[in-house]
Structure 1
Amino acid sequence: MTVFDNVAFGLAQQKVPRDEIKRRVMKALEDVDLAALGGRYPSELSGGQQQRVAVARMVVVSPELLLMDEPLSNLDTRLRMQMRASLKRMHQEMNSTVVYVTHDQEEALTMSTAIAVMDKGKLEQYSAPEEVYERPATKFVAEFTGNPQTNFIEALVAKGSQGAAAAAGATNAAAGLAVEDHIIGFVQGNPGSLPDKVCLAFRPEAMAICAEDGACRLPAVVYATLLVGSSVLVYVHIGKTEAVIRAERGSKFRGNQRIWLEPDWSQVNIYDVNTGRRLDYAAHR
């Protein structure tokens, strides 16, 4: 069968009028950028084109439920981005439920209304994409989502550190968070049930780079920078831990330069180092 006949097959089985079949098939082929290839045969198509034919054949019948398993895996980067937008538009037009399986976390975050993150058959989190990105339920989810990936650094919990809190200008803090012997923040509320050590998780955009030391700032040493579009990725050593920080385009850093990092605590999550579960505590500077 030609591409057109392949996409039209389901509609023909439903006895849809010929004119309606033609209209809907051409619309589906346009949506997957194959409108000019309706007369070709499978042997004349690339793997990516064949995959898009399969997508068109599936959506053209407007089913109530669709299962898509890595439908964009054989496409190049430019076409994958284009197809993401097309699939979101088609989903809105059909008003169907779509179960979309992917190992590409960026694809999941950009296309979904709800995400189920699984690890070895275990459901780690089921939430809206914003919640998955901003408040990962487990360390695994935090590691899996985001590009560049999340930074992790262990912190000691200095309970009852009123003296350190006052010195840092944070009154009524019950516990300090210490990294490399530096108090960088304080836990809000009653941290009595906190373990003695926790894991702090922060995205590259959740740390501000400062030229000078100050309260609740963490020293780091630059070892590399990468220009990525509108921003610069700054790779640093925090003690023996490696991390990546996102800075504004035009920012200049040199190798072995000493800098200081200031967390945006609204974007930092705290995890149990043993279970990997997110702890329901917030912190501040």
Structure 2
Amino acid sequence: MRGQGSTVAFIPLIQLSFHGVKTDLTFARLMMKSIPENVDLFDDRLLKGMDDRCVRSLNGYRVACEILRLVPNVDNFRLVLRVIKLWGQQRNIYSNRLGFLGGVSWAILVARTCQRYPNAPAPTLVFKFFKAYSMWMWPVPVHLRDVKDLHFNLPFWDPRVSPRDRDHLMPIITPTYPQVNTTYNICHSTFNVITEEIKRGHVIAEEIQVNKADWSKLFETPDFSEKYQHYVLLCIHRRSGLGYRGSPIVVAPLTPAACTLCGAEAWGMAPCLPAGPPSAVEVVMSPD
């Protein structure tokens, strides 16, 4: 078993590898002298006085459990979520760090579909998912329930109060206090890519319904070089002894800002992969 922790992470966690299985253990410090065995982690009063990072950590668990509580059929929800996550990964739009949608965003979108169609079987829910979000009037937010602001001096998503919240392009809101927007990283270019992919999914879903296509077409991977004629390729490498850990994850947070800076009409995301023993930072642009 191997593990490593971070004291400056956005969410405090321990990255753990146990018999080759990697997982993240999140950490939250409660404002209590001792922790009883029957502590209720859904008691909002526990958040009072807690620092923002620990609130985010604890809310990861609270949000996951609340989503399961709010869906009418947990088995259908889990099955549809697996389908949508696989589709998002195949189409290169599954990454919160790169300005697309992360796991909790996809979970909330699927859960909202399950709420709207409580008696529908899983395949119908997949079709309804693509139909609903291909026509969604963004930036109308997606909520699973109303959440009241308890005024614990914690960040709380509210576009009526915060001009910054009003600027969010694709708000998908968590169902626990303090509610937050899970898609704050999305910029105009990644928003265009996501909505384009959802519309493509809707077209294929309709073809599947009338037996003009099978499910494999939905999960086809895009040809990056054919789809995007112009792109920026960032290769970030280390010098000897600087503690490179095997994946240039530092590239990811730069991408949404780069989208905004470039103002490109279409911005594609290719997988971030380590590229051997390097020595410099390269920026390669297509001649055009």
TM over 0.5: no
By percentage of residues, which structure has more helix?
Answer: 2
Place the TM-score, normalised by the shorter chain, in its bin. under 0.3
Give the structure with the higher percent strand. 1
Q: Which one scores higher on RCO, CA 8 angstroms, separation ≥ 6? A: 2
TM-score (norm 2): 0.24
Length-normalised TM-score, structure 1? 0.24
Larger radius of gyration, structure 1 or 2? Answer: 1
